[in-house]
Amino acid sequence: MNATDFEAALLAVPKAVPELRHAVRGYLGGGPYPEVELCVSELVSNVIRHVGEGTPVRVRVTRVGLDGLDGDRIRVEVTDPDPRALPVLLDVTTDTGLGAESGRGLMLLDAVAVRWGVEQGVSGKVVWCEVRD
């Protein structure tokens, strides 16, 4: 971890999501970063919904750059201990998706992120995304 990164270890519970957004906003200087806050909320909420409430997670936010240029993107990473529950980008325009109560959060993340993905390991995974700074 770089000294300028934000990192938090917590239990994935609904109450933690707004507190985490507030902490990330402070790390980023207090300004409005709606895309970063949406990514943090969605990734932690997905752990709550698909892995289980109370799952231990690690959230990391850092400024990264392309080709060694620092700071042109903000990377959000959420690590959880379940290597099997992988995020799936749903097509909400299908018949089953149109009436669905959930499934749009990852679509929103996909829309605001420059890129996103999953790093799968034996004992867990990291779901990450990058947005423009």
Collapsing DSSP states into helix, strand and coil, what is residue 53? coil
Residue indicated by tokens 């990164």: 5
pLDDT tens readout for residues 73-126: 999 999 999 998 888 887 766 655 555 566 678 889 999 999 999 999 999 999
Question: What pLDDT, on a 0 to 100 scale, did the predictor assign at position 4?
Answer: 77
What is the identity of the amino acid at 132?
A: R
- Angle of helix 16-27 relative to helix 34-50, nearest 10 degrees, comes to 150
Judge whether residue 65 has pLDDT over 90: no
The structure tokens listed for 105 are 């959060």
Q: What is the distance between the alpha carbons of residues 16 and 54, in angstroms, rounded to a whole number?
A: 10
* Strand intervals (E) in the chain: 6-12, 55-64, 73-80, 115-121, 124-132
pLDDT tens readout for residues 5-41: 999 999 999 999 999 999 999 999 988 899 999 999 9
Residues 6 or more apart whose Cβ sits within 8 Å of residue 67? none
